[in-house]
């Protein structure tokens, strides 16, 4: 069978270019337009990379129309139901589910690298207590590289594996320390007695004068939150990690760049924005008025937690997390959160029936519910995106490793359509 091509014709010169069409395992085919510049002397124009496939990847697949999310081929629903976050990390990094022996070794290895260097812990004292925790995360994760000079050869696969292990192993401790510093609490070390997720919970909340209630529902909710946020294909922060990595920057610096990108409210900062919005609405009776404000073109308010660049029918992560949200609120019976949840349910109901949202295919995304879950676990609003960063570290480093393992990896270098002043001569100051 003849392989599929797309022909591009320049009607000014009559020149044509036959571009091969590349087929992946799933999803839309891709036009290989790499010869555009050499053959037709042109670049692609695709601001915000809406139709650009920036790489090949075997890690995560999303079908935005059908609401499908697969990690290494496994549906997110099955992983959320049956797997653990650590198993998902192993899967993302290695491509296959671990055998029981591989799982135990991986779990032990993560525990072995989970302590923070005391020098790194000292870093925190330099931050103001009212710093945004994401700013602290960017600084501390970026600083990790300075402790591991001897194992920072990005050409060495063993060093790359160790960097991945250290990042995944230490990130809960870094996040917990960030929260505790802000709260003026002492640092809690990770313990060999707990699983990865229990340890995270313990490091966040342990107090010597109170019994820590590690409710299985709460631990399960945290586990699922981490699984759902572990990777999401070539989103803004992952693309940032890849672009930074393509310059052969060290992986700690690349992940710090990813954390900085995740911070934005259009990306990982949305769950924090959702909770702020729910408190701002304040009462179910104010929901219709708020929806009108969102629809008003002269008012730049967006319904936070709604819409997604890729998911245009539903976000499969939102479906999973919505159920957990209900369970958790029932189990923990937190009266403070009940009205907030009621506002969220009313917003969801009205928005899903409203033409404005239907026409634009705006559905609740994962962040619409994740903020409520994190609040009910006792995590302060400012920390929400930090939790997202903890989960996404596995995806970022798996994507970084995949890129570094490519034989022909080159520095990423987008081009542009220049629309500035035409070439002109310098004018001496006294003649302007």
Catalytic residue set: 308, 367
Q: For ligand CMC, which stretch binds (CB under 6 A), given 20-28, 158-166, 249-257, 358-366?
A: 358-366
CA dihedral 321, 324, 326, 330 (to 10 degrees): -160
For the window 269-298, what string marks contact with ligand CMC as x by the rule CB under 6 A?
Answer: -x-----------------------x----
Residue 267 in contact with ligand CMC, rule: CB under 6 A: yes
Separation of CA 99 from chain center: 27
Between 48 and 428, CB nearer to ligand CMC:
48
Q: At what angle do helices 216-228 and 85-94 cross, to 10 degrees?
A: 20
Between 222 and 294, CB nearer to ligand CMC:
294
Between 178 and 235, CB nearer to ligand CMC:
235
Residue 308 in contact with ligand CMC, rule: CB under 6 A: yes
Residue 309 in contact with ligand CMC, rule: CB under 6 A: yes
Residue 365 in contact with ligand CMC, rule: CB under 6 A: yes
Token output for 218:
């709460």
Between 46 and 333, CB nearer to ligand CMC:
46
CB of 421 to ligand CMC, least distance (A): 30
Q: For ligand CMC, which stretch binds (CB under 6 A), given 207-215, 263-271, 281-289, 420-428?
A: 263-271
Backbone angles phi and psi of 108, in degrees to 5 = -65, -45
Q: Tokens 């730049």 belong to which residue?
A: 300
Residue 304 in contact with ligand CMC, rule: CB under 6 A: yes
Is residue 321 within 8 Å of 370, Cβ to Cβ? yes
Classify 372 as helix, strand or coil.
helix
Is residue 183 within 8 Å of 190, Cβ to Cβ? no
For the segment 70-129, give every residue that binds ligand CMC (CB under 6 A).
none
Handedness of CA 53, 264, 258, 197 (dihedral sign): negative
Backbone angles phi and psi of 61, in degrees to 5 = -125, 135
Residue 260 in contact with ligand CMC, rule: CB under 6 A: no
Q: For ligand CMC, which stretch binds (CB under 6 A), given 187-195, 331-339, 359-367, 411-419?
A: 359-367
Between 258 and 305, CB nearer to ligand CMC:
305
Between 325 and 362, CB nearer to ligand CMC:
362
Surface-to-core class of residue 275, CB atoms within 10 Å of its CB (0-12 exposed, 13-18 middle, 19+ buried): buried
Number of residues that bind ligand CMC (CB under 6 A): 20
Distance in angstroms (rounded) separating the CA atoms of residues 392 and 400: 12
Q: Using CB under 6 A, pick the residue from 16, 360, 406, 414 that binds ligand CMC.
A: 360
For the segment 215-234, give every residue that binds ligand CMC (CB under 6 A).
232
Is residue 89 within 8 Å of 97, Cβ to Cβ? no
The residue with its CB nearest to ligand CMC is: 307
Q: In what order do the strands lie in the sheet with 68-71?
A: 60-63, 68-71, 74-75
Distance in angstroms (rounded) separating the CA atoms of residues 101 and 107: 10
Is residue 244 within 8 Å of 251, Cβ to Cβ? no
Q: For ligand CMC, which stretch binds (CB under 6 A), given 12-20, 129-137, 199-207, 260-268?
A: 260-268
- Which residues are near ligand CMC by CB under 6 A? 232, 235, 266-268, 270, 294, 302-309, 360, 362, 365-367
């Amino acid at each position: 069978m003849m392989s599929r091509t797309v022909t591009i014709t320049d009607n000014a010169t009559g020149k044509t270019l036959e571009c091969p069409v590349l087929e992946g395992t799933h999803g839309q085919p891709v036009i290989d337009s790499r010869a555009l510049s050499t053959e037709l002397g042109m670049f692609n124009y695709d601001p915000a990379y809406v139709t650009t496939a920036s790489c090949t990847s075997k890690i995560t697949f999303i079908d935005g129309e059908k609401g499908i999310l697969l990690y290494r081929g496994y549906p997110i629903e099955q992983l959320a139901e049956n797997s653990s976050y650590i198993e998902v990390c192993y899967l993302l990094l290695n491509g296959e589910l671990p055998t029981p022996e591989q799982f135990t070794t991986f779990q032990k290895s993560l525990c072995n690298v989970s302590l923070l260097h005391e020098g790194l812990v000292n870093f925190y004292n330099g931050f103001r207590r009212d710093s945004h925790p994401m700013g602290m995360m960017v600084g501390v994760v970026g600083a990790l590289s300075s402790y591991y000079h001897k194992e920072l050869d990005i050409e060495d696969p063993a060093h790359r594996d160790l960097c991945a292990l250290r990042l995944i192993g230490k990130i809960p401790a870094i996040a917990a320390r960030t929260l505790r510093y802000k709260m003026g609490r002492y640092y809690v070390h990770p313990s060999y007695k707990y699983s990865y997720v229990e340890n995270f919970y313990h490091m966040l909340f342990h107090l010597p004068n109170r019994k820590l209630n590690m409710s299985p529902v709460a631990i399960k909710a945290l586990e699922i939150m981490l699984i759902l946020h572990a990777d999401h294909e070539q989103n803004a922060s992952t693309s940032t990690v890849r672009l930074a990595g393509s310059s052969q920057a060290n992986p700690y610096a690349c992940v710090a760049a990813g954390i900085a990108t995740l911070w934005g409210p259009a990306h990982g900062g949305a769950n924090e924005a959702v909770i702020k919005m729910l408190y701002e609405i304040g009462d179910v009776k104010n929901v219709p008025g708020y929806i009108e404000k969102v629809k008003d073109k002269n008012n730049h308010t967006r319904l936070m937690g709604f819409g997604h660049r890729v998911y245009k029918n539903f976000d499969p992560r939102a479906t999973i997390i919505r159920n957990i949200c209900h369970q958790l609120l029932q189990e923990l019976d937190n009266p403070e959160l009940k009205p907030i949840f009621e506002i969220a349910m009313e917003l969801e109901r009205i928005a899903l029936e409203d033409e404005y949202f239907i026409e634009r295919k705006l559905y609740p995304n994962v962040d619409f519910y994740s903020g409520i879950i994190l609040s009910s676990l006792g995590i302060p609003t400012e920390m929400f995106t930090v939790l997202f960063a903890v989960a996404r570290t596995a995806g970022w480093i798996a994507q970084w490793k995949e890129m570094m393992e490519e034989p022909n990896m080159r520095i990423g270098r987008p081009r542009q359509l220049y629309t500035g002043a035409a070439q002109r001569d310098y004018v001496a100051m006294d003649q302007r």
